[in-house]
A and B are shown apart, each in its own frame.
Chain A
Amino acid sequence: MASMNYYELFGIPVSYTLDEVRLTNIYLEKQSVAHPDASASLKAGANAGWKTLGLVGCNPANNVVDDVSCPRSERLSVDLNVAYDTLMNAVKRAEYFLALHGLRIDDISVHYAAEMFAISEQYGTLKTLSEKLDFQQQLVCRMKGMEKSLAAVEGNLAEFCKRAVLLRFIGSFLEKVRLDAYNRN
């Protein structure tokens, strides 16, 4: 069986630019056939249902081997969830998009050292919880901006790898800020 990548699984073009609404609609439509609860209702018709939705591929990244313990419907549902979860996340999608091109985000980069340092510094000066929440909101906006800026250079993979470093940094910094705010009190 020919394996499909995450984009092919949803029948959308391989691109960092993503129409989230469209992807979500396709995802929900496929899940309503593939999900273990839904496929129970389809029983005999299930195979036909999967075919019509083009759900015959397996998850290449997981290198899935068929085994009896995992019912087929659950496997498909899992594949759709893994793929959807990856594509909907700006950082994971960047990593996956690069992986499809045999590339990865640079480990260490001097390009954005100043920006990264500035973000850390600024966070260090914040005192109150509301300041930190505002900062978190700013970072969320900045992530969205970075996502657009990456999409703009997806034709130039060297530049893409470079910019993705900052995206990944903001992503993990956001996690740190969130944890900090969440664990107060």
Chain B
Amino acid sequence: MHTIGIDLGTTASAIAFVHNGVSKIIAVDGVKSTVPSVVNYGENFPIVGREAIYRVDSSNTVFSVKRFMGTDSKFFARTPEEISADILFFLKRSAEQVLRMPIDAAVITVPAHFSNLQRIATKKAASLAGIKVLRLINEPTAAAIAFGLDKKQDGVFGVYDFGGGTFDFSILRLSKGVFQVLATGGDTYLGGDDVDSAILEYNLHQNNLDISQLNEKEKLLGILLSKSMKEQLINLEKTHRQFIYRGNNCRFQLSREILEDIVTRFSCRTLQIADQVFMDSKININDVAGIVAVGGMTKIPLIKKAIADHFGLKIFDELNPEEVVALGAAIHADSISSRNINSLLIDVVPLTLGIETIGGTVDRIIYRNSPIPIMQKREYTTYQDNQTGIKFNVVQGERSMAKDCFSIASFELGDIPPMPAGKARISVEFSVDVNGILHISAFEKSLEVSKSVVVEANNELSNDEMMQILQIAETNKYKDAEESAHVTVRIETERMISFWESVVQDLSLEEQVVALEAIRELKAALKNDDYEKLLRYRKKIENIFDQHLDEIIGKRLTGMSVACVPDSWNY
């Protein structure tokens, strides 16, 4: 069985594969180690990743869909699961192209703090993409696996995972190949995306504008500009850009100092969460060997410094923070599928699970940080004479009132025979499986009226839909992976060439010469079916165009040139 590890991220995703005992990132088309989690629906088929960014258009492009997993939102008539499935399918196909073999199954990572509904939505997305989920594992845990096995070092570690959309902090103990998660905490709505919005708001404010004055297209452009300014300040002291608002030039500028002010607002919150997790874990901070830095946000020097200063601990950042989660997922996939257990993982429940009782309070059944798999039972009774049904509202969260927690499911146990209040004995069993997903069963003890519930996301698939999907997955199965891979790469490359040719005049003269020459070579490679050469030239051209991504995107979005100040590219 061929398996991969998939880091399905908010802003970027990555895939990895274990070969000869070593976990390696699969660079999609040999170009970059991560794929933007962006999907464009401008054509009659979804376009994912970098190409989707080239084609960005606010009327058909979806960014950061992960933030909407487990909700009823729809984008261009598609559910978050369906959009994520398009990303997953692209990743799977890319892996098949690079590895030249079919992929059957994967370990997919989710934020440790993902709720039950978000986990189920992720699993559903995978099945829509025709991927068998070996296991859903938590992102910080995956990072610890990659890091721990890399170092072969026993001890207690903190994992600080600050990504594009979510923040997680976990404390793990590694001893003799067993990874035991001691405590975890986080915020599913705290990430680099929020920093980008804050940068945009700052710059709009400097120009006497307000975010509410921007339409969708302008907002998207502003966010993309802010994101790229943030990334530049990893290496530069200051940067500036031109933002065109209704024909007026606005100057966006950002220094590292101001960025640090903005970032500090968010990093303070992350450190508060981390403090709580330390307290939950009952681990003395002196017993911790160090903190593993994970996620794109930790590339910002200030963040690393803030963590180091706050805890007085060593920061482990040898592995690329954007790759480490996928690397760990691949190791775990290999470990499970080869049945060659070199690492065992015992994770925990991130949020307390309970049932709403009379008066709206929560009866806690499985507490946060309980090791999984786990099961707990409770007994309830009727509160009225001859009551024939009981409705259960299942909630997730730490608050004592059900209304302050997330309601993740409700179900009714009916057909209870009439009897006096308090006589019925209804046993409710909660079990959380190794994927962190809750299963519930309830039954009336004396009469064996029972009901089993796997807590599901709201938009359930009908049987017909499921059959359809299975058939599609079947027809998509590769008879000959290699040949099929070539065909899709060819089609993609042809599309890219026509795109590049349409924007090549935006480049400087020297760049135009180089790019046109490379495009000529690429066409020749296509004609001669020279796969290696094709990849080589694609990479070369993408590198040239990447430098001007902002301008190209800006044009697409506004139909006007977003002037890019040359000195900001001097890195």
Q: Which residues of A contact B (CB under 8 A)?
A: 24, 28, 31-32, 35-38, 40-41, 43, 62-63, 74, 77-78, 81-82, 84-85, 129, 133, 136-137, 140, 175, 178-179, 181-185
Contacts and interface: CB of A to CB of B under 8 A. Distances in A.
B198 to A, nearest CB: 14
Interface stretch (B3-11, B38-46, B273-281, B520-528): B273-281
Given A37-B341, A41-B339, A82-B374, A182 B279 contact: no
A129 B276 CA distance: 12
A153 to B, nearest CB: 23
A183 B282 CA distance: 20
B452 to A, nearest CB: 9
Nearest to B280: A178
Interface string B217-243: 000000000000000000000000000
Interface of B: 175-178, 180, 185, 269, 272-273, 275-276, 279-280, 282, 335-336, 339-341, 344-346, 367, 370-377, 398-400, 431, 433-434
B178 A28 contact: yes
B372 A81 contact: yes
A78 B373 contact: yes
A184 B398 CA distance: 14
Contacts of A74: 373, 433-434
5 contacts: A28-B180, A37-B336, A41-B339, A181-B276, A182-B272
Contacts, number: 82
A41 B341 contact: yes
A25 to B, nearest CB: 8
Given A78-B431, A85-B374, A178-B279, A40 B178 contact: no
B434 A185 contact: no
Contact of B370 (A24, A85, A137): A85
B336 A182 contact: no
A31 B178 contact: yes
A178 B276 contact: yes
Contacts of A41: 339-341
B294 to A, nearest CB: 21
A179 B340 contact: no
A32 B341 CA distance: 9
Closest 5 CB pairs of A and B: A81-B371, A41-B339, A41-B341, A81-B374, A78-B375
Contact of A179 (B341, B372, B398): B398
B178 A32 contact: yes
Contacts of B345: 37
Given A178-B276, A181-B276, A36 B374 contact: no
Contacts of B336: 37, 40
Contact of B335 (A36, A37, A137, A183): A37
A79 to B, nearest CB: 9
Nearest to B180: A28
A40 B374 contact: no
A78 B346 CA distance: 11
A85 B375 CA distance: 11
A128 to B, nearest CB: 13
> Which of B276, B335, B341, B373 neighbours the largest number of chain A CB atoms within 10 Å of its CB?
B373
Given A28-B175, A32-B178, A78 B374 contact: yes
A74 B345 CA distance: 14
A175 B352 CA distance: 12
A43 B376 CA distance: 27
Contacts of A184: 272
Contacts of A136: 279
Contacts of B180: 24, 28
Nearest to B190: A185
Contacts of B178: 28, 31-32
B339 A40 contact: yes
A55 B116 CA distance: 31
A120 B29 CA distance: 61
